[in-house]
């Protein structure tokens, strides 16, 4: 099956579950901002959960199918038209040659268009995820553009059960390596007040406006390892949550780390919306 991009929306890229092979060499993990949602979409159409999909950002896009096949658009509160007829999201759809799929403005930040079969894309360090900074992976290492044609390789259908990810109202966090350097006041107020996701946020990191954590102001550390979900505190005192395209090392105190099951809920928060955190000290205890 082939898919022509008629309109790419604000930003559409090919993403899978990311790369681990290059972390020791400074190559970011990248991958889907909401990995649980991508897994759900792949399971819905009968793919292995690690297959790449098209990550839609803020607004959807318009896509023409050049062959028969199946697909699904997964996300929250979706507006979907197939040949001008409203269709439900989060369901497997049959598409015919010449069909046009339109996905409207998203109510959350990310949604995924997945196709039955594997999207053909460029591999980089063992992943098909787009890494725009170095123009590798995905489709020519860049965002999709009008006129691009994607190929889908037919693969055997698999049967897997993956539940639709439930949005978390409170984002669970664990203490980070430099947690003990922060004052009790900062630790308490971090979870007692709302933060606002800055418009100056992207796939590398979400800046949080609101409460300033100033007990380690102007403190730098020797550059150390970080992962997506690490919450660093720069000299400004405004926390930064590192996201999928974050670097592998950083020099700011690592205050906390987002629970891996909650990273997708955080990723879905739109610029200007609020987020609230809760400490989760015991990994085996559900909060």
> Does the pLDDT of residue 281 top 80, yes or no?
no
The per-residue pLDDT for 282 is 52
Residue numbers of the domain that contains 206 = 170-279
The answer as to whether 287 is a domain residue is no
The answer as to whether 160 is a domain residue is no
Rounded to the nearest integer, the mean pLDDT of the chain is 94
- Same domain for 99 and 215? no
pLDDT-derived band at 211 (thresholds 50, 70, 90) equals confident
- Same domain for 200 and 125? no
Beta carbons within 10 angstroms of residue 280's beta carbon: 20
Q: Mean of the pLDDT values across residues 80-107?
A: 96
The answer as to whether 161 is a domain residue is no
Q: Which among 128, 153, 178 is the end of a domain? A: 153
> Does the pLDDT of residue 284 top 50, yes or no?
no
How far is the CA of 71 from the CAs of 50, 63, 168, in angstroms? Answer: 16, 11, 27
Q: Which among 87, 121, 153 is the end of a domain? A: 153
> What tokens were used for 82?
């197939």
The per-residue pLDDT for 287 is 37
What residues have CB less than 8 Å from 75, skipping those under 6 apart? 37, 56, 89, 90, 106, 108, 110, 111, 112
> Does the pLDDT of residue 1 top 80, yes or no?
yes
- Same domain for 30 and 115? yes
> Does the pLDDT of residue 42 top 60, yes or no?
yes
- Same domain for 110 and 10? yes
The mean-pLDDT minimum among 22-26, 62-66, 133-137 falls in: 22-26
> Does the pLDDT of residue 91 top 70, yes or no?
yes
Instruction: State what percent of residues in the chain have pLDDT above 70.
Output: 98
The answer as to whether 285 is a domain residue is no
- Indicate the DSSP class of residue 198: -
Q: Which among 120, 153, 186 is the end of a domain? A: 153
The per-residue pLDDT for 17 is 98
Q: Mean of the pLDDT values across residues 20-43?
A: 95
Q: Going by DSSP bridges, is the β-strand pair 93-95/100-115 parallel, antiparallel, or unpaired?
A: unpaired
- Same domain for 132 and 176? no
Q: Give 113-132 pLDDT, tens digit per residue.
A: 999 999 999 999 999 999 99
**CATH code (residue 211):** 2.40.100.10
**Number of domains within the chain:** 2
Give ∠ CA 45-110-106 in degrees, rounded to 5.
100
The per-residue pLDDT for 201 is 95
The per-residue pLDDT for 220 is 75
Can you say whether residue 285 is alpha, beta or left, with left for phi > 0 and alpha for psi between -120 and 50 degrees? beta
Q: Give 223-237 pLDDT, tens digit per residue.
A: 899 999 999 999 999
The per-residue pLDDT for 99 is 98
């Amino acid at each position: 099956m082939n898919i022509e991009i008629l309109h790419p929306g604000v930003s559409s890229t090919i993403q899978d579950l990311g790369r681990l092979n290059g972390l020791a060499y400074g190559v970011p993990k990248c991958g889907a901002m909401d990995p649980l949602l991508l897994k759900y979409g792949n399971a819905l159409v009968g793919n292995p959960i690690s297959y790449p999909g098209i990550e839609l950002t803020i607004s959807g896009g318009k896509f023409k199918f050049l062959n028969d096949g199946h697909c699904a658009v997964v996300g929250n509160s979706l507006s979907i038209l197939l040949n001008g007829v409203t269709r439900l999201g989060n369901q497997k759809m049959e598409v015919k040659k010449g069909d046009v799929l339109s996905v409207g403005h998203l109510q959350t930040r990310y949604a995924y268009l997945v196709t039955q079969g594997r999207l053909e894309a460029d591999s980089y360090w063992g992943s098909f995820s787009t890494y725009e900074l170095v123009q590798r992976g995905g489709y020519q290492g860049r965002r999709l553009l009008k006129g691009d044609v994607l190929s889908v390789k037919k693969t055997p259908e698999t049967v897997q059960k993956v539940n639709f990810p439930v949005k978390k109202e409170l984002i669970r966090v664990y203490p980070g390596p430099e947690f003990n350097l922060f004052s009790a006041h900062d630790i308490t107020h971090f979870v007692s007040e709302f933060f606002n996701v800055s418009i100056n946020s992207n796939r590398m990191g979400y800046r949080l406006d609101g409460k300033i954590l100033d007990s380690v102001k102007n403190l730098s550390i020797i550059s150390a390892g970080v992962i997506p979900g690490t919450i660093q505190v720069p000299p400004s005192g405004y926390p930064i949550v590192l996201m999928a395209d974050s670097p592998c090392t950083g020099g700011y105190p690592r205050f906390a780390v987002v629970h891996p099951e909650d990273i997708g809920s955080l990723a879905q928060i739109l610029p200007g919306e609020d987020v609230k955190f809760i400490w989760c000290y015991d990994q085996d205890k559900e909060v």
